[in-house]
């Protein structure tokens, strides 16, 4: 991706430090860098994992890692449609639409189930935190 965008990165940062920077420079912070509203959760979904970082009063207060991500959706589609994972990723990206799912739409029903599983795990984490 970096090459295709003709970028020349000059630094590599760890996830939680990057999220800390985001928290301090986002719309959720005031001019002095304090988190507005007290508590904010940042969720970073990758291919194989999801990071949850919760900031309270401008400080990192809680982190969790979920061992699932976009690849889980691809795997569920490959099982449901009996296709290769490589093929199902393009279906997920191109045709995935969870807003108006028809009852015979196997692809989007499968994606919805996989996303619902991820959301359940995120809900458990947030309930544990609160």
In whole angstroms, give the CA distance from residue 92 to residue 74. Answer: 7
Residue 100: CB atoms within 10 A of its CB come to 7
Domain ranges of the chain: 15-67, 70-123
Task: Note the pLDDT tens digit of each residue in 13-52.
Answer: 777 677 777 766 666 566 665 556 678 888 999 999 999 9
Tokens 């969790």, residue? 64
Task: Note the pLDDT tens digit of each residue in 43-71.
Answer: 999 999 999 989 887 778 999 999 999 99
């Amino acid at each position: 991706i970096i090459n295709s965008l003709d970028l020349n990165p000059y630094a590599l940062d760890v996830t939680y430090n990057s999220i800390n920077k985001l928290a301090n420079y986002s719309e959720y912070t005031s001019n002095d860098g304090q988190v507005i509203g007290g508590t904010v959760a940042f969720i970073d979904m990758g291919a194989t994992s999801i990071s949850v970082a919760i900031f309270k009063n401008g400080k990192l207060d809680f982190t969790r890692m979920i061992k699932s991500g976009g690849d889980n959706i691809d795997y569920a589609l490959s099982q449901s449609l009996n296709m290769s994972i490589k093929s199902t990723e393009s279906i997920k990206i191109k045709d995935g639409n969870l807003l108006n799912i028809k009852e015979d739409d196997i692809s989007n029903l499968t994606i919805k189930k996989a996303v619902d599983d991820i959301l359940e795990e995120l809900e458990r984490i947030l309930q544990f935190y609160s």
